[in-house]
Chain A
Amino acid sequence: MNGKTDRLENRREFFRRLGRWIGLGALGLLGWPLLGRRRAAPADTVWQLDPEKCIQCGNCATKCVLALSAVKCVHAYDVCGYCNLCGGYHQPYVKRLDTAAENQLCPTSALVRTFIEEPYYQYDVIEERCIGCGVCVKGCGSFGNGSLHLQVRHDRCVNCNDCAIARQCPAQAFRRVPADRPYLMRGERWKAGSRKA
């Protein structure tokens, strides 16, 4: 009886050891393509959207896993024309070029303007208010210089394994970019080459 139990234990221990080596081998086989096989170790990546591909469909505002999207409107000041009549700021067919709420395009009044000098106005995005809907971006792109554009803001983005907006982006504007150059902004940064990422 005792001998039988011992034999059983020995057999089980043998199979366990065998399984352990197989398991170790399997981990090695998985680990090689996952960790090894890298010549120039690629930097870790984060998600970003390419404003040149973006079609301002509005998905960014609603598809992000965060209730208030990580995508926000960003203003490239050096591309902006500082116009009084702004396609991104004003409602279409607006009669009075003032800051009245009914004249503003932005649903949350996240775009504000300040008078600089005749005839120039500076436009700023208040990020806390911006929901990333892209309405102003569309207005700016179809009428103005396209200085307003959408970007994933990395102080908010939780860098999901699989970006929920990227999955549903109809223009396939999202891609992974190196974490040390995490923006695809317009303007000088854009010209400085961060676009090539």
Chain B
Amino acid sequence: MMSGAQRPTANAAKNAAAALFAFLAAAVLAGTAAAGATAEARFPKPQFESRYVMPRAGAPPARAAMLEYLDVAVLVASLGAAGWLVLRARRRGGVTLLTVFSVLYFGFWRKGCVCPVGAIQNAALALFDGGYRAPVVVGLFFLLPLGATLLFGRAFCAAVCPLGAAQDLVLFRPVKLPAWTAGLLGMLPSVYLGFGVYLAAMGADFVICRFDPFVGFFRMSATPSMLAFGGALLLAGVFVGRPYCRFLCPYGVLLGWMSRFAWRHARITPDDCVNCRLCEEACPFDSILAPTPEHHPESRRAGVRRLAILLAALPALVAGGAWLAASLHAPLSRLHPTVRTAERVLSEDRGAARGTTLYSDAFRQSGQPARELFASALALRARFRKGAWFLGGFIGAVFGARLVGLSVRRRRTEYVIDRASCVSCARCFEYCPRERERVKKTRNGG
């Protein structure tokens, strides 16, 4: 809105400047208005008679590389600490302290950037665009939490991620969402991950960063819509545990995949489950799975048949998703600025659009032939089409896998943690009577 108000002034300045220039040109130097591109030395360097010393423009340096690696070191240390606190020490208090530290360091001090959640896009761009190389620090921020999760579950989410930490600290009145709501919303992160990777790989946009809900708070500066989005999530987070982590965070999807296969994972009980049901309501994130009933209400035969049908439908879902996304590639490609500019220029040339935009003006000013722009836009659109097959197929596969997962019958004889969704916050420990006994013993012993 500011640029709109300023452009007329700037144009007026240009006109006025041209007029003044014509008046002064004879006195100063022989230059033409066409030399505007290289505007230097229209006026000669002044010959000072006084002992004037010419100042130099300051150039504050960028953040030292050393400090960037310090961030990596802090990340490694906090990941280790989180793993130790959850697996060995089993201390919720320690986890909370680490959470506060992470909000302060990775959030307010480092201003929420670089974070592993956004680093997904750097990784995608580096993989699919040969011309781009992700900085080493960004690569490490992307990979280290994944590796740590493979070792000891999503301890990163519990206490290191500033986004998760911010939500964990406001969770005062946890309420349980209906299972179907949580299940349905739980599909969103995979879809978001697909779109985030797709758009980053196409070089169009880093949507995950753009819709980062809390980075505005960390920087203490954001657009009103960003603040409203973040504020709404925080407000919801008072009642619904970690809404961003569970229903949006794309990195959580990757971490969930890793966490399923974790080498060690947090357990509710320190030794044996006595099926006392005390932990049943402990988890604000619905990550505790109850034992399955001895006799399943559905007959085994019917279950197997349903599973077979769903498994057979899986390829159809993948193919359908791929086809649907590919048929939407044209509107999707408009998310790329080059395609947008090309379409605008084309419709202006054809007389379909009245007036010009900042972008079409800038393009015409650049002197690049329109044909080149159109060619690159068409090439981009073809790329979008190819990528959309994968995006649609992925989303189809996610839905299919979810349906299959609902129909797979897993036998459980005790209360266990759902490794994929558990963020290792350590809240459930104190609900376990065995844990209380253990704590009492260690206190008396030491």
Contacts and interface: CB of A to CB of B under 8 A. Distances in A.
Interface in A165-186: 167-168, 170-171, 179-180, 182-183, 185-186
Interface in A2-32: 5, 8, 16-20, 22-24, 27, 30-31
A135 B143 contact: no
B39 interface: yes
A58 interface: yes
Contact of B222 (A5, A19, A67): A67
Interface of B: 1-3, 6-7, 9-10, 12-18, 20-21, 24, 36, 39-46, 48-50, 52, 54-57, 59-63, 65, 68, 111, 113-114, 118-119, 121-123, 126-127, 133-140, 142-143, 146-147, 150, 205-206, 209-210, 215-216, 219, 221-222, 257-258, 260-263, 337, 341, 358-359, 361-363, 365-366, 411, 413
A133 B257 CA distance: 46
B3 A145 contact: no
Contacts of B258: 23
A24 B362 contact: no
Given A45-B135, A135-B13, A189 B59 contact: yes
Contacts of B262: 16, 20
A31 B257 CA distance: 17
Given A38-B133, A135-B6, A23 B261 contact: yes
22 contacts: A20-B150, A34-B126, A34-B142, A35-B143, A44-B68, A46-B62, A57-B7, A65-B216, A68-B221, A75-B57, A81-B45, A92-B17, A120-B46, A124-B55, A135-B13, A145-B40, A145-B42, A161-B113, A170-B341, A170-B359, A171-B362, A171-B366
B165 to A, nearest CB: 19
A133 B13 contact: no
B63 A142 contact: no
A111 interface: no
Contact of A44 (B1, B61, B65, B119): B65
A27 B146 contact: yes
Contact of B13 (A17, A46, A87, A146): A87
Contacts of B114: 161
A113 interface: no
A116 B63 CA distance: 36
Contact of B54 (A35, A78, A134): A78
Interface residues of A, number: 90
B2 A133 contact: yes
A83 B41 CA distance: 12
A168 B358 CA distance: 10
A197 interface: no
Nearest to A48: B62
Nearest to A22: B261
A21 to B, nearest CB: 8
Given A154-B61, A167-B337, A187-B57, A161 B118 contact: yes
Interface in A112-134: 116-117, 120, 122, 124, 133-134
Contacts of B113: 158-161
A65 B216 CA distance: 8
Given A18-B261, A27-B147, A92-B17, 9 more contacts: A23-B261, A35-B139, A35-B140, A42-B133, A44-B68, A61-B3, A77-B56, A77-B57, A170-B358
A100 interface: no
Interface string A73-113: 01111110111010100011100000000000101000000
Nearest to A56: B10
Contacts of A93: 16
A142 B222 contact: no
A68 B147 CA distance: 38
Nearest to B362: A170
A75 B58 CA distance: 9
B106 to A, nearest CB: 13
B257 A23 contact: yes
B36 A142 contact: yes
- For the complex of A and B, the 10 pairs showing the least CB-CB separation, nearest first, are A92-B16, A81-B43, A58-B3, A19-B261, A143-B17, A162-B206, A170-B362, A146-B39, A34-B139, A155-B60
A178 B261 CA distance: 39
Contacts of B54: 77-78
A153 interface: yes
A87 B17 contact: yes
Contacts of B15: 92
B224 to A, nearest CB: 10
A189 B59 CA distance: 10
B41 to A, nearest CB: 6
